[in-house]
Amino acid sequence: MIKLLLVIPTLDRSGAEKQLTLLATSLPGPEFSVQVAVLTRSGPYAGDLAAAGVPVTVLDKRLKCDPIVYRKLRRLIAEARPDVLHTWLFAANSYGRLAAGKRPPFPVVVSERCVDSWKSGWQLWLDRRLISRTSRLVGNSQSVADFYRDVGYPLEKLSVIHNGIELPEAGAIDKNELRRQFGIPPESLVVGFVGRLARQKRVLDLIWAFELIRVMEGEVYFVIAGDGPERHKLEQFAHSLKIGERVKFLGHRDDAPRLLPAFDLFWLASDFEGLSNSVMEAMAAGLPVIASDIPANRELVVHGETGYLAPVGDRVAFAQLGQRLLLDRDLASRFGAAGRARIASQFSTARMVESYARLYREVTGSRGAT
């Protein structure tokens, strides 16, 4: 049996936390034993882990640099005696590798989930300092792996394992009922976005593009599910264009995937991503997607087959391509079906779990060389 200790900052309802939970609850029991440590706080995914019998320890981190939590994690590692320590996201990747020591008697796997151009100099310096304590760095897209190759990680320490997702049952949710809940007439055209309202996501560009479509088409709405530091600015902008009644800000939603059947089209305009869970969920729901033409999105959206890729910041392109898919429902349906099939074949949860299982077998089999 391979004993795993997975470490992550929180169990909030977000992308990395979702993937950790899917992995921890899906690995085959006879071969793997899983334990989870949470640096800062628990969250909604704790219930899923408890239901699957996965033990969770919350370390209650309160400071950016918290020596008490560092000692707690060292004790937990000593008591758990894992065969693999697998950490997720910057804080856990840093605390985990430091707490494991310079020459840990077990492989240390770290997961990075984004092209982390946001990291400051000291964070990248720490990443480089900890390369020697890293058995494998796993990116959820090739673009993430390429970013950390440029940071200094050797190729033999880099792997790519895409996020996994389950296909929702087609037609399980009433599209018109969802629209009535949002105050949208059933016969309208609806564009959707799900994600954090941060500058990286370029939602302002999407509101501009939506206004261009609305001027041409009239009975169209834009639904934005998510919250973040840009929300107030975006709401003000929509009202300044006098389209506040056509742009629906839903705020943070724990049930965001359930909203997708209300949309006719999904947009993502980000400057950078890792592997977008929201795009994967939209494709799994059978929606055509228009996404910014960045490396991570190219791994999901096949231009002209499952949707379109538009240049970053090109509001006119988002509007033109969006109008094309909203008006040509046969084309939109073909793109949606192709996207759903792509997710089923290339990005399933089962494929993701088996990829991690192979990685764990590999690193424990070569433990002496780590």
CATH code for the domain in which residue 104 is found: 3.40.50.2000
Would the pTM count as exceeding 0.85?
yes
For the chain, the distance separating the N- and C-terminal CA atoms, rounded to the nearest angstrom, is 19
Give burial (CB, 10 Å; 0-12/13-18/19+) of 57. middle
pLDDT at residue number 255 = 87
pLDDT at residue number 368 = 35
| Stretches in the chain below the pLDDT threshold 50 | 366-370
218: domain range? 175-346
Is the domain of 149 the same as that of 261?
A: no
CA distance 268 to 277: 11
Collapsing DSSP states into helix, strand and coil, what is residue 262?
Answer: helix
Is the domain of 100 the same as that of 249?
A: no
Is the domain of 67 the same as that of 201?
A: no
Is the domain of 98 the same as that of 229?
A: no
The answer to whether residue 169 is domain-embedded is no
The answer to whether residue 228 is domain-embedded is yes
Is the domain of 227 the same as that of 279?
A: yes
Number of domains in the chain: 2
pLDDT (tens digit, 9 = 90+) per residue, 257-307?
A: 889 999 999 999 999 998 999 999 999 999 999 999 999 999 999 999 999
pLDDT at residue number 171 = 64
Is the domain of 256 the same as that of 363?
A: no
Is the domain of 207 the same as that of 237?
A: yes
Is the domain of 137 the same as that of 211?
A: no
pLDDT at residue number 218 = 77
The answer to whether residue 7 is domain-embedded is yes
The answer to whether residue 80 is domain-embedded is yes
Is the domain of 361 the same as that of 309?
A: no
The answer to whether residue 34 is domain-embedded is yes
Is the domain of 14 the same as that of 104?
A: yes
Q: Residues with Cβ < 8 Å from 15, sequence gap 6 or more?
A: 113, 163, 274, 277
